[in-house]
Structures are given as C-alpha cells and as structure tokens.
Amino acid sequence: MTGASIILVEDEALIRMMLADMIEELGHRVVAEAGNIQVGQALAQAAIFDLAVLDINIAGYSVRPIAEIIDGRGLPFFFVTAMGQQADQKRSEHARRFRSRS
C-alpha cells in the first residue's frame, strides 16, 4: 500500500517540519510545502497531490483562497491551527461552506 501524496501549507517553519515528519512517519509523502499564501496558491493550482493540509492562519492571512482553489479542483483538504479555541472558532467559520467528501 502506498501512502497519499500531500501538500503542506504552514507559515511556521518548525511546525511545518514537524508536520512533514509526522506525515511521513504515517507512511505518506509530502510532495510540496508552502510557507506563504502566494506559494500555497501556486501549489494548489498546479501541484499533483491527493490531500492538502492547511494552516488556517498564514502570517495573519486567511488560507481561504488556497482552500477555494483546492475545492475547485475537487481535491480533499483539512485545516490545522495552533490558535486557541476561541480564535479557532472565529477563523474556522469560513470552513463551513466546504462540504465533506467521501
């Protein structure tokens, strides 16, 4: 069984490295990484991947534009964050419009 190919969008380099290590330890491949919105958008448009892992807050900006591109391609993604619970609720409200895919 081969793992999923994953793109990772996270602005904090140490967290991005930790997440990449965890993903690879689980048997998946990180095929591309982005530390800012612009690179994330380019990857979302052109990269070949099975799943995207997106930090909700990229250097103070919403990751929504990246999520919309990925959603438009019909590919799955999920959000991660290190923000507190209250901040998570506010920042993740935009995620509600994205539907679950089986």
pLDDT in tens, the chain (102 residues): 589 999 999 999 999 999 999 999 999 999 999 999 999 999 999 999 999 999 999 999 999 999 999 999 999 999 998 766 555 555 555 555 555 444
* DSSP code, position 3: -
Whether the CB-CB separation of 61 and 37 falls below 8 Å is answered with yes
Q: What is the pLDDT of residue 37?
A: 97
Indicate the CATH number of 5-97 among 3.40.50.12780, 3.40.190.80, 3.40.50.2300, 3.40.109.10: 3.40.50.2300
